[in-house]
Amino acid sequence: MASVMVGVIGGTGLGEALGALGGGEAVEVETPFGRPSGPITVTEVGGVPVALLSRHGDGHLHSPSRVPYRANIFALKKLGVTHILASGAVGSLREELAPRTLVIPDQIIDKTFRRPGTFYDELAVHVELASPFCTQLRNVLVRGGTGLSTRVHQGGTYVCMEGPQFSTRAESELHRAWGASLIGMTAMPEAKLAREAEICYALVALPTDYDCWRQYPAHLDQAKVIEEILGNVKVATQNALELIRRTIPQVPALAEKGCPCQSALALAIWSDRAKLPEDVKEKLRPLLGKYL
């Protein structure tokens, strides 16, 4: 069986709750793209090696636009991570995707514009991204949701906006008109970078509210609205933790099947490798080593 290590990237709520998956050793990882959001905790869940990373860092100090996405994914790759189970709080754009349920999206619309979106600034690399989330890993998550205390929705389009402000009502209605299901701020460029690193990547989305297309009752003041959303985050976080805990032991079986995500660079490197400077080769060796 091929070596498997699961990276778990915790978003809002889950980032602070990752310790519930198990204790372990906190390691600092240096990368050519700076430091990750924080130390990465290496542990085991169900006998499977796991690397835990809080996307927003200790104390939630990194806003979505300032998360060091490249450093995070590079560090996980350097540690040997082969599959990433990520989480993130989102707004629901569909009545049926109720707060406190979970969604395993299958598509993304990327509206970000302030974030470095590739590892390969010094060469031309064009990975396929028609299916931005790993189909095999998504299916394992969906199966892991069988019997869970909340509903796990399969599929849906996630709009990744820049933030940090939330949507205007006109934007929210536009995203609904596009057929999107969820609005969030962190799935991109994370999913793109995972594909560039040949890591299988899937997302557990945690709806906390209905964005602003669906107005709250007039009798609820802002404080009550925030209190309700925070309560939804807490419940959804526990649901997501249980789903991820169930899913991790099922991941090693995927290694026997192989996955296109893990050979995404095979036809994607358009630059003449013989002309790449040695310092660039050395910098990117954890990503490109088998192709150099």
- Would you call 260 exposed, middle or buried from its count of C-beta atoms within 10 A (0-12, 13-18, 19+)? middle
Q: Do the annotations mark residue 69 as ligand-binding? A: no
Q: Do the annotations mark residue 185 as ligand-binding? A: yes
Specify the DSSP class assigned to residue 250.
G
Query: How many Cα atoms are found within 13 Å in the side-chain-facing hemisphere of 223?
Result: 0
DSSP annotation string for 162-207: --SS---HHHHHHHHHTT--EEESSSTTHHHHHHHTT-EEEEEEEE
Cα–Cα distance measured from residue 191 to residue 197, given in angstroms and rounded to the nearest whole number: 10
Annotated catalytic residue 279: no
Q: Do the annotations mark residue 56 as ligand-binding? A: yes
Residue 17 phi, psi (nearest 5): -100, 5
Q: Do the annotations mark residue 201 as ligand-binding? A: no
Q: Do the annotations mark residue 43 as ligand-binding? A: no
The residue from 211, 221, 272, 279 that is catalytic is: 211
The residue from 58, 106, 110, 209 that is catalytic is: 209
The residues near 54 (Cβ < 8 Å, ≥ 6 apart) are: 9, 10, 15, 16, 18, 37, 38
Q: Do the annotations mark residue 12 as ligand-binding? A: yes
Annotated catalytic residue 211: yes
Residues within the annotated binding site? 12, 55-56, 185-186, 209-211
Instruction: Enumerate the active-site residues.
Output: 209, 211
Residues within the annotated binding site for substrate? 185, 209-211
Residues within the annotated binding site for phosphate? 12, 55-56, 186
